[in-house]
Structure 1
Amino acid sequence: MTQLSLRLRVFLFFVLIGLGGAAVVALALWLGYGRALATTPENGFVFAGILATFGLVALAAGVWLLFDENIAKPVERIASEMRVRAHAGIANGVDTHGARYLGDLAHAAEAVSSRLTDAAVATAQRVAEETAQLAEDKARLTALLSEIPVATIMVSPKGRIVLYDGQAAEVLSQIHVPRLNAPITDYFLAAGVEAAVREMHRSGREVTLTLRSVDEAQGYRGRIKPLDAGGYLLIIEDAEARISPQAERPMVFDFSLLQAHAPAAVEETPLSKLTYVVFDTETTGLLPHKDEVVQIGAVRVLGGRIVPGERMDQLVDPGRPIPQSSTQVHRVTDAMVRGKPDIAEAGRRFHHFARGAVIVAHNAPFDMAFLRRHQARMGVEWSNPILDTVLLSAVLFGASQTHTLDALCQRLGVTIPPALRHTALGDAQATAEVLVRMLPMLEAQGMTTFGAVLEQTRQHGQLLEDLN
C-alpha cells in the first residue's frame, strides 16, 4: 500500500465509497425483500430504506476516518512542519513515516525544505561574517559606556524609554524592573521631568534637573539633552554611588521606538509592534480557587525578540505550608518563601511589570485565575489583553496535535534545561522563545494584527476547557 501514488490512493477511497454503498443498498434491499414477504410490501420498503440510510452513514464515517488518519492529518502535519522551517528557522525533518501513504509528497516536501534550509544557513553565515565586526564594535562601546560614571537613558518624543545602559538599569531597578518602551514617568515623578522637557524645548539646550523616584524614596541629579532624531538623553550623574560595583547588565535598546506611533486600538496593532509579557506561575496545587502562588516568573518580548535583562523572578509567600508533592515538581520549599512578599505585593509588582503589554502564558486561564482571585488585595485590575500559546499552537498546527509546552518546544526547536523545567522563570523563558518563533508563522498565514489572531484563537476555546 505504501508504494501506491497519492492520486491512486484517493481514487481507491472513491471506489470504496461506490462499491461499499452499492453493497449496503443491495444488502438492505435483500433484507427488506425478506421483511416484505413476511409482512407487507410497505413494511419491507421502509425497513430497507432505514437499513440503507444507516449503512451509508456508517460507511461514510468509516471512509472519512480512514481519509482523515491517512491523508488529511499527514498533509496538515507536513504543512505545519514546512511553516516551521520557512518562518521559524527550525530545521526539523519532515515526518516521512507518518506521511507514508501520501506517495511522493512527503519526500518532495523534505527535498524543498532541505534546499530552503541550506540556502538559509548559507545566507545566515554570510550575514554573521559581515556583522561580526559590528557586534565587536557594539561590545566595545558598551564596555566604554560602562566605565563612564553616569547612567544614560534615551527617551523618545512620546516620553518612552528607547535605550538604557548598564548603570541606568541598576538605577531603574531600584524603583521597578527596567522596561524598554515604558514611560519614563513610571520611574520618576512626572512634574520634574515634564518641566525640564518643556524648558529644553523652549531653549533648545541642555537642562539640569533633580529627579525624584515615583515612590519619592530617592533623588538624583540629572540633565537632559535634546536629540536630533527627536526625544532626549536623560543622564543621571550621581548613579555610580547608588549601584553595586558587582552589577553587570547589558546595554538595552530598540531605536525603532523613536518613531513608534500608538495605534487607535490594540486589535489593529501589528503583531510585531506589540509588547508582550510572557509569564508563568508555580503554585501549592492545581486548584486556582483554593491553592496559592509560590513563584512568578516573567520575561518581556519587544519587536519580536526577548529583551535581555528585562525579567521578573519573584518567590511568593503563600501563607501556608507548601505540600511536598508540589515541592517535588517545582522545587520551591517553605524555607525559600519565608519572608518573601505575599501575593498582594508580588501581584502589584507583576502588574507594574506587565503595564501596557499583552500578557502571554501557556494555558493562561489557569495562571490568570490565581491573580484575578486576589486582585482586590492587590488593588489592581487585570485588564491586559491576553494570548495563550496553547491556542496559538492549535491555530498553527491543528487542534488534533499535542499542545503541551514540552511538545511545542520540541516542535519549534526550543530547549528547556532540565534544571529550569517547572520553574516559573524557566517555563516563562521557554514560552517566550516559543512565542517569538510563532509570530512570523502567524503573520505568514495572514494573521498580521492582534485582532486577527484573537478571532482565530476563539475557534479553539474548547481546548482550554478540556485542559482545565
Structure 2
Amino acid sequence: MSRLGLRLRIFLFFCLIALGGTGLVLAALYAGHQRALATTATNGFTFAAILASFGLVALSVGIWLLFDENVAKPIERISAQMRARAHAGVATGIDTEAARYLGDLAPAASAVTAALSDSAMSTAERVAAETERLTAEKARLTALLTEIPVAMILANPRDQIVLYDGQAAEVLAGQAVPRLNAPLSDYFDPACLVGARRKLDRTGKEVAFSLRGHDARQSYDARMKPMEGGGYMLVIDAAHADIAPDAARPLVYEFDLFDRDAEAAVEDMPLSRMIYTVFDTETTGLLPHKDEIVQIGAVRVVHGRIVEGEALDMLVDPGRPIPPASTRVHKVSDAMVAGKPDIAEAGRVFHRFSRDSVIVAHNAPFDMAFLHRHKGRIGVDWDNPILDTVLLSAVVFGASETHTLDALCDRLGVTIPERLRHTALGDAQATAEVLVRLLPMLEARGLTTFGAVLSETRRHGRLLEDLN
C-alpha cells in the first residue's frame, strides 16, 4: 500500500465509498425485500431505508477515520515541520515514516527543507562571522564601561529604559529586577525624576540633581543629558554605590523601544513588537485550590528575543510542609524555603517584574490559579494579557498533536538541561525559547497581531480555559 502513488491512493478511497455504498444499499434492499415478504411492502422499504442509512453513515465515518489518520494528519504534520524549519530555524528532519502513505510528498518536502537549510546555513555562516566581530567589540565596550565608576541608563521620551550598562544593572537591582521598557519610576523616586525632566525639557541642557531610590536609604549624584531625536541619558555616579568590583553584567539594550507605539491597543500590537514575561511555578501539589507555590521562575522576551540578565528566580515559603513526593520532582525542600518570602511578598515581586507585559506560561490556567487565589493577600489584580504555549502549539501544529512542554521542546529543537528540568526557572527558560520559535511561525500563518492570535487560540478553547 505504501508504494502506491498519492493520486491512486485517494482514488481508492473514492472507490471504497462507491463500492461500499453500493454493496450496503443492495444488502439493505435484499433485507428489506425479505422483511416485506414476511410483513408488508411498506414495512420492508422502511426497514431497507433505515438499514442503508446507518450503513452509509458507518461507512463514511470509517473512511473518514482512515483518511484523517493516513492523509489529513500527516499533511498537517508535514506543514508544521516545514514551517518550523523555515521560520523558527529548527533543524529536525521531516517525519517521512508518519507520511508513508502520501507518496512522494514527504521526500519532496524533506528535499525542499534541506535545500532551504543549506542556503540558510551559508547565510548564517556569513552572519556569524560578522556577529562574532560585533560581539568582540561589544565585550570590549562592556569591559571598558565596567571600569568607569558611573552607571548609564538610556531612556526613551516616555521615561522607559532602553539601555542599561553593567553598573546600572547593579544600581537598578538594588530596588527591583532590571527590566527593559520599565519606567524609571519603578526604581527611583518619581519626584526627583519629574523635577529633573522638567528642567531638561525647559532648558534643553544637561541637568545635575540628587537621585533617590524608593527606600530613601540610597541616594546618588546623577545627571540627565538630552539625546538627539528624543529621550535622554541618565548618568549615575556609582563610585559610592554598593557594587562588587568584579561585577560583570552585560550591556543590555533594545533601541527599537524608542519607536514603540505607546498608544496602540494591545489587540493591535504586532507579536514581534510585544514584551512577554514567561514564567513557571513549582508547587506543593497539583491542586490550585489548596496547594501552594514553592518557587517562581520568570524570564523576559523583548521584541522576539530573550533578554539575558532579566530573570526572576525566587523560592517561596508555602507556610506548610512540602510533601516528599513533590520534593522528589522539583528538588525544593522545607529547609530551602525556610525564611524565604511568603506568597504575598513573592507575588508582589513577580507582579512588578511582569508589569506592562504579556504573561506567558505553559498550561497557564494552572499557574495563574495559584496567583488569583492569593490576589487579596498580594494586593494586586492580575489583569495582564495572557498567552498559553499549549494553545499556541495547537494553532501551529494542530490540536491532534501532543502539546506537553517536553514534546514542544523536542519538536522545536529546544534543549532543557537535566539539572534545570522541573525547576521553575529552567522550565520558564524552556517555555521562553519555545515562544521565540513559535512567534515567527504564527506570523507566517498571517497571525501577526496579538488580537489575531487570541482569536485563533479561542478555537482550541476545549483544551484550556481562556484567561483573557
* TM-score, with structure 2 as normaliser: 0.98
Q: Distance in 2 between matches of 1:427 and 1:283?
A: 13
1:278 aligns with 2:265: no
Q: Distance in 1 between matches of 2:373 and 2:287?
A: 12
| Correspondence list, 1:17-28, <5 A | 17-28=17-28
Q: SS where residue 310 of structure 1 aligns?
A: strand
Cα deviations across residues 374-415 of structure 1 (Å, max 9, x unaligned)?
000001000000000000000000000000000000000000
- Structure 1 residue identity aligned to 2:463: L
Q: Distance in 2 between matches of 1:459 and 1:215?
A: 47
Equivalence for 1:46: 46
Equivalence for 2:2: 2
Equivalence for 1:268: 268
Residue 465 of structure 1 deviates from its aligned partner by: 5.9
Structure 1 pair 84–76 and aligned structure 2 pair: CA distance change class (3 A): same
Residue 271 of structure 1 deviates from its aligned partner by: 0.4
User: Which deviates more from structure 2 when the two are superposed, residues 245-254 or residues 447-456?
Assistant: 245-254
User: Which deviates more from structure 2 when the two are superposed, residues 214-223 or residues 274-283?
Assistant: 214-223
- Structure 2 residue identity aligned to 1:306: I
User: Which deviates more from structure 2 when the two are superposed, residues 245-254 or residues 327-336?
Assistant: 245-254
Equivalence for 1:206: 206
Cα deviations across residues 122-154 of structure 1 (Å, max 9, x unaligned)?
000011113322221111111100100011100
Q: Distance in 1 between matches of 2:447 and 2:83?
A: 14
Aligned CA-pair RMSD = 1.1
Gaps of 5+ in 1: none
User: Which deviates more from structure 2 when the two are superposed, residues 261-270 or residues 330-339?
Assistant: 261-270
Q: Distance in 1 between matches of 2:216 and 2:387?
A: 35
Note if contact 1:160-1:182 (Cα within 8 Å) is conserved in structure 2. Answer: yes
Residue 239 of structure 1 deviates from its aligned partner by: 4.8
Structure 1 pair 217–379 and aligned structure 2 pair: CA distance change class (3 A): farther
Equivalence for 1:178: 178
Note if contact 1:150-1:240 (Cα within 8 Å) is conserved in structure 2. Answer: no
Note if contact 2:283-2:295 (Cα within 8 Å) is conserved in structure 1. Answer: yes
- Structure 2 residue identity aligned to 1:384: N
Note if contact 2:74-2:99 (Cα within 8 Å) is conserved in structure 1. Answer: yes
1:137 aligns with 2:137: yes
Structure 1 pair 264–131 and aligned structure 2 pair: CA distance change class (3 A): closer
Equivalence for 1:35: 35
Q: Distance in 2 between matches of 1:299 and 1:319?
A: 26
Equivalence for 1:451: 451
Residue 247 of structure 1 deviates from its aligned partner by: 2.6
Cα deviations across residues 265-306 of structure 1 (Å, max 9, x unaligned)?
100100011110000000000000000000000000001000
Residue 240 of structure 1 deviates from its aligned partner by: 4.9
Note if contact 1:315-1:341 (Cα within 8 Å) is conserved in structure 2. Answer: yes
- Structure 1 residue identity aligned to 2:406: D
Q: How high is the sequence identity, in percent, across the aligned residues?
A: 68
Q: Distance in 2 between matches of 1:49 and 1:217?
A: 88
Equivalence for 2:162: 162
Residue 191 of structure 1 deviates from its aligned partner by: 1.4
Cα deviations across residues 401-451 of structure 1 (Å, max 9, x unaligned)?
000000000000000001100000000000000000000000010000000
Q: SS where residue 24 of structure 2 aligns?
A: helix
Cα deviations across residues 50-81 of structure 1 (Å, max 9, x unaligned)?
00000000000000000000000000000000
1:300 aligns with 2:300: yes
Q: Distance in 1 between matches of 2:465 and 2:54?
A: 33
- Structure 1 residue identity aligned to 2:415: T
Q: Distance in 2 between matches of 1:295 and 1:239?
A: 35
Equivalence for 2:65: 65
Equivalence for 1:189: 189
Q: Distance in 2 between matches of 1:237 and 1:447?
A: 46
1:79 aligns with 2:72: no
Q: Distance in 1 between matches of 2:199 and 2:371?
A: 42
Q: Distance in 1 between matches of 2:218 and 2:459?
A: 50
Residue 370 of structure 1 deviates from its aligned partner by: 0.2
Q: Distance in 2 between matches of 1:131 and 1:293?
A: 41
Equivalence for 1:388: 388
Note if contact 1:300-1:311 (Cα within 8 Å) is conserved in structure 2. Answer: yes
Equivalence for 1:437: 437
Residue 244 of structure 1 deviates from its aligned partner by: 2.2
- Structure 2 residue identity aligned to 1:355: R
| Correspondence list, 1:215-234, <5 A | 215-234=215-234
Residue 344 of structure 1 deviates from its aligned partner by: 0.2
Aligned length: 466
Q: SS where residue 340 of structure 1 aligns?
A: coil
Note if contact 2:167-2:238 (Cα within 8 Å) is conserved in structure 1. Answer: no
Q: SS where residue 395 of structure 2 aligns?
A: helix
User: Which deviates more from structure 2 when the two are superposed, residues 191-200 or residues 93-102?
Assistant: 191-200
1:99 aligns with 2:69: no
Q: SS where residue 7 of structure 1 aligns?
A: helix
Structure 1 ranges of 4+ moved more than 6 A: none
Q: Distance in 1 between matches of 2:39 and 2:281?
A: 70
Gaps of 5+ in 2: none
Q: Distance in 1 between matches of 2:250 and 2:264?
A: 33
Structure 1 pair 397–240 and aligned structure 2 pair: CA distance change class (3 A): farther
Equivalence for 2:310: 310
Note if contact 1:330-1:422 (Cα within 8 Å) is conserved in structure 2. Answer: yes
Note if contact 2:269-2:450 (Cα within 8 Å) is conserved in structure 1. Answer: yes
